[in-house]
Structure 1
């Protein structure tokens, strides 16, 4: 006998807390489960065991993404989930909440005696946060990983993806065989925190992204001359940091000239060499992330950024190198799925806002493979990728209820 499935908030909170015992905060206050770190591998082993205890058929692919199948052994599945890895000193909700909600939905269905006609597949994708320049787990599922990229992919510290995988006992070449068969996934759904301030500002419990911005990931090096800071006249310096600073100050003008309202250019990780108090920086290495919902705008910003770097380098007597580490195009999510989520939100009485995601997500990559859509829940003060990241449980419960309703409809 079946009953109407219901989300169990206490069980969901306990599951999320269990995930966050791995890479738990130290003095930094943030969570650390960077892709292919010991904590990342350990949380996957733990979560696999949790799914096995629930009777799910558990498997892994060559990227070390986890899958837990509920329902028929054959036929195209509805895949639901997110990622378990974090950025350095990240928050407790980014990615892991979506994985926890996915498993809680299955637990609620099992508890109510529901047997889906269409299998539901819980997924915890691997290395979504882009340590190596992409969204590895979903790219592997979608068959987007190439041998050339695999052999060259490295993190900001120069660690090769292949070395990081082998250190954890994983075979990198298995990534090339991780692609799922076309048609094996009917739809992909992902619940995620908004990572922005819009839903909280408008006092809305749910957001429904219609698409996601693209991401261009650049690595830039400026080279000048390291010299004594006291004996080198100001007009005779080739100061790499001065060049970096001038480039940074020109970002608003670049956005004004070529971008859109949602265009973003961010200089994130910076390294100065030799990095001594009394030495003029002879080299500056820094990351640049360009985002927009239009591929044409992204390309325009990328071109303009290159022109600015070239001009600034010439003015400061510097040489420069710009390497494109990765490029993920913007996507529109499946309109039929977004409309279905909208209908279910209205049926549940939840005020929902359609919007564009300014952050990259697995659902974005999965659109190359199957129809995909997302559910957002608000982020307090719009903060994410930081220890202060938080979402209110009243909003989380509504997002989870909406996901459960969507899965019940798709799996019927």
Structure 2
């Protein structure tokens, strides 16, 4: 009996994950180390225990379920369970559900892998604290200095968030997997962009992922009465922010590439009152590109533009680098294998670059890694309207199952 994906079982599993953290706007709040994030991990661990997998957790609270030998190098497959605030139902959770469904299909068919398969539900991938904590922990990339200083956009320390959930942050530093203990890492994920849907292609095969630099920027001026302060005597922090923002296209045109992205995300104005000139603007800036030298060039150019805007408006400026994740290339051999399996299954596939960061990107520091993308409707992600058609999901799951059978057979 050949292993086969059970579509209804997969739907039920995904629905089970998304029973946690649902909010009124139709999205999901399972931000890293929130109550909903902790609860879904406990639930998923119980699901894997019921399947007879060897279940474990590491210091970052990533959850693992092993099928096969307990002490042999494993093929790791999975994604993350956390979401952004009001995120969608598929980002991360689909990859975790597909990973477990593949193992369930193998067990049901009596397929015993020569190399064990380890389902991974990584923690804090969405970068609440500036990194991809779960996969960075597995790959041994977390430093003590970063661990002790990492904080979210509201100033909450990672160490405090973990201790509030009964976790000991220092355990992260002893949770790295030894070199050679993971043979390969595979991750299925929604594309989070419009390319596959626009081109009517079932499968995306990323050849690499853009890097991410996360900046925390503060412009400080003078809060003052909006009616009594002449326009030419203001130190308006929002005016400085606006001037920076409108120059983003020019920054990319001068220093970027076709893969470059600069995003001003979270913004806070102080005192944020209708009749008061903003005395402070605090905001995040995310810079992405497929080449590290381009990212650093964009970062330098952003600093120049921000500095000029601050001087023009009489503001002080601080820019802090919260985290830097270098762009990576995925394993050429794994991509070739996935492409060959897609052809065998008559699934149209397209090679591409991932504009988003993923656990597979971090895992390249430990082992060969690769990804499978399925189309996203209208390219929407990180929002309640995030959706992937079930026919496309089934194709991606079939490809993942075929790849795992091939990799684990010998």
TM-score band by shorter chain is over 0.9
Distance in 2 (CA, whole Å) between partners of 1:211 and 1:228 is 51
Residue aligning to 1:397: 394
Partner of 1:97: 94
Task: Tell me how large the CA RMSD over aligned residues is.
Answer: 0.4
Q: What is the CA–CA distance in structure 2 between the aligned matches of 1:342 and 1:23, rounded to whole Å?
A: 36
1:311 maps onto 2:311 in alignment? no
1:110 is paired with a residue of what secondary structure? helix
The answer as to 2:67 corresponding to 1:70 is: yes
Q: Could you tell me which of 139, 144, 164 is aligned with 2:161?
A: 164
Partner of 1:327: 324
> How far does the alpha carbon of each residue in 1:358-388 deviate from its partner, in whole angstroms, 9 at most, with x for none?
0000000000110000000000000000000
Shift of 1:262: 1.1
**Which residue is 1:384 aligned to?**
381
Q: Deviations over 1:39-72 (max 9, x none)?
A: 0000000000000000000000000000100011
State the match for 1:336 in structure 2: 333
The 4+ residue runs of structure 1 with deviation greater than 2 A are: none
- Mapped to 2, the partners of 1:33 and 1:324 lie a distance apart of 25
Alignment match, 2:9 = 11
Match of 1:120 among 94, 117, 125: 117
Partner of 1:406: 403
Structure 2 match to 1:358: 355
- Counterpart in 2 of 1:221? 218
User: How far apart are residue 74 of structure 1 and its match?
Assistant: 2.1
- 1:45-60 equivalences under 5 Å are 45-60=42-57
Following TM superposition, by how much is the alpha carbon of 1:25 offset from its aligned partner in structure 2, in angstroms?
A: 2.5
Q: Which residue of 2 aligns with 1:178?
A: 175
1:154 to 141, 147, 151: 151
Deviation at 1:214, TM superposition (A): 0.0
- Whole-Å separation in 2 of the counterparts to 1:273 and 1:73: 54
Q: Counterparts of 1:157 and 1:187 in 2: how far apart (Å)? A: 36
Q: Deviations over 1:107-166 (max 9, x none)?
A: 000000000010000000010000000000000000000100000000000000000000
Matches for 1:295-306 after TM superposition, within 5 Å:
295-306=292-303
Task: Please give the alpha-carbon distance, in whole angstroms, between the structure 2 residues aligned to 1:81 and 1:89.
Answer: 22
1:29 deviates by 2.0
Distance 1:203 1:299 in 2: 35
Instruction: Return the match for 1:204 from 198, 201, 206.
Output: 201
Q: Deviations over 1:199-229 (max 9, x none)?
A: 0000011000000000000000000000000
Partners of 1:274 and 1:356 in 2: CA distance: 41
CA distance in structure 2 between the partners assigned to 1:196 and 1:233 by the alignment: 45
- Residue 134 of structure 1 is matched in structure 2 by 131
The structural deviation recorded for 1:277 is: 0.4
Number of aligned positions between the proteins: 409
Counterpart selection for 2:20 from 10, 22, 40:
22
CA distance, structure 2, for counterparts of residue 5 and residue 147 of structure 1: 44
Q: Flag structure 1 segments of 5+ consecutive residues without an equivalent.
A: none
Query: 1:82: how far off?
Result: 0.1
1:288 to 277, 285, 289: 285
User: Unaligned stretches of 5+ in structure 2?
Assistant: none
Post-superposition offset of 1:269: 0.1
Aligned counterpart, 2:108:
111
Matched, 1:239 2:231: no
- Partners of 1:84 and 1:74 in 2: CA distance: 26
Q: CA deviation at 1:86?
A: 0.1
